[in-house]
Amino acid sequence: MRFIRPVRPVKKVYIHISASDNPDHDNVATIDAWHKARGWAGVGYHFFIRKSGQIERGRDLEKTPAAQRPFNRGTIAICISGLKIDKVTKAELASLVDLCWQINDAYGGQITFHGHREVANKACPVIDYKKILGISEKGFLAGKRPKGIDIKTPDDVSATDPHQAPEMSVTSLQFGQRGLQVEVLQRQLVRLGYQVGTIDSNFGNRTRAAVLAFQADNHLITDGIVGSATMEAFDDALPRQIGDTRQTASLATLAEGGSRIADASIKNIAAGGTTTVALLTGVTAEFSDTFQNLKSQIEPIAEPFGGTTTFMLIALLAVVGFMTWQSIRAGRARTQDHRTGKTS
């Protein structure tokens, strides 16, 4: 297998073990099923190494793993098959060495390697990964690729419970749910520039759209479900970046792009201007049958105000002016919402 460096930023690699020597569990499909049973979008590891040494791909490398919370962001997660140290094969360790050195070379040696137990109270991955990979005190792969494979367990490694899939401290949130947790989620999204509409504690369409946008921007699985990895990403997520094109968009460019509100605003403003000119030049009064009929009906009322023509002209100008002003306001609001990312 040839490793291809992902676009998302990566600084660390974490090594895990599957916690099972059952031959039926020696595949990434089983891990995927286990993690889905926990409510996740799928397998949390990017690679799974079988006892035969075969490397299977798991989660998309462009997506943040769900493997060592709260240290998932900016990492690659690798899982080897096994539970007991004497059942780990040299074939899978040889593949681990090859994969890790491929990753190291892809990053020019500027990436560190770690075992799960460094960030969790577990023995995972039970093997002496530092010796096997040739890891320095600072976590870098030092020197040349190791030739021999040593699978002896370190003295401080417990033989029990070597690995446990990462726990979720809160329940996953998804479309249709209501409550305080949803409100907290909505406020987090708005704080980062992802608009949810009204903060109403309801996980509706706009909240789901905001979650999907947040997940896409932060290299997460885009399923609209706020699970372990998504919740963790909120801890250090940056405000949403608004592109230069969006920030300088005009009402005209929005209309050209298909915005019905922008298009209607432009047409209404243009119509208002045309009507105003027509009224002021008397064109409407001269050629509109409707105008003449209306004029005869309100002559008694308009007499004290200087006659029907003056009265109706003022009234119509007021109506047209109000409608034009409303269209200008709607256009400005639509443009501002687009520039700030509130709308697409």
pLDDT per position as a tens digit, 253-277? 777 877 788 788 888 788 777 777 7
Model pTM greater than 0.85? no
pLDDT digit of tens for each residue in the chain (344 aa)?
899 999 999 999 999 999 999 999 999 999 999 988 887 788 999 999 999 999 999 999 999 998 988 899 899 999 999 999 999 999 999 999 999 999 999 999 999 999 999 999 889 999 999 999 999 999 999 877 776 665 554 443 333 344 444 443 446 899 999 988 899 899 999 999 898 989 999 999 999 999 999 999 898 989 999 988 888 888 778 888 776 676 677 878 777 877 788 788 888 788 777 777 776 665 545 545 555 565 565 566 656 655 545 656 677 777 777 888 887 888 787 777 666 665 65
Q: Tell me the Cα Rg of the chain.
A: 32
Q: Please confirm, yes or no, whether 122 is among the known catalytic residues.
A: yes
The residues spanned by each domain of the chain are 12-133, 180-233, 245-340
Select from 3.30.420.40, 1.20.1050.10, 1.10.101.10, 3.40.30.10 the CATH code of 180-233. Answer: 1.10.101.10
- Catalytic residue chosen out of the listed positions 12, 46, 63, 122: 122
pLDDT per position as a tens digit, 123-149? 999 999 999 999 999 999 987 777 666
Q: Is 12-133 CATH 3.40.80.10? A: yes
**332-336 contacts, C-beta under 8 A, 24 or more apart:** 332/251, 334/251, 334/254, 334/259, 334/261, 334/262, 334/265, 335/249, 335/250, 335/251, 335/254, 335/262
pLDDT per position as a tens digit, 89-103? 999 999 999 999 999
- Catalytic residue chosen out of the listed positions 12, 14, 63, 124: 124
Q: Please confirm, yes or no, whether 45 is among the known catalytic residues.
A: yes
Q: Please confirm, yes or no, whether 124 is among the known catalytic residues.
A: yes
**Alpha carbon separation from 323 to 212, 281, 316, 327 (Å, rounded):** 37, 20, 11, 6
Give the Cβ contact number of residue 114 at 10 Å. Answer: 18
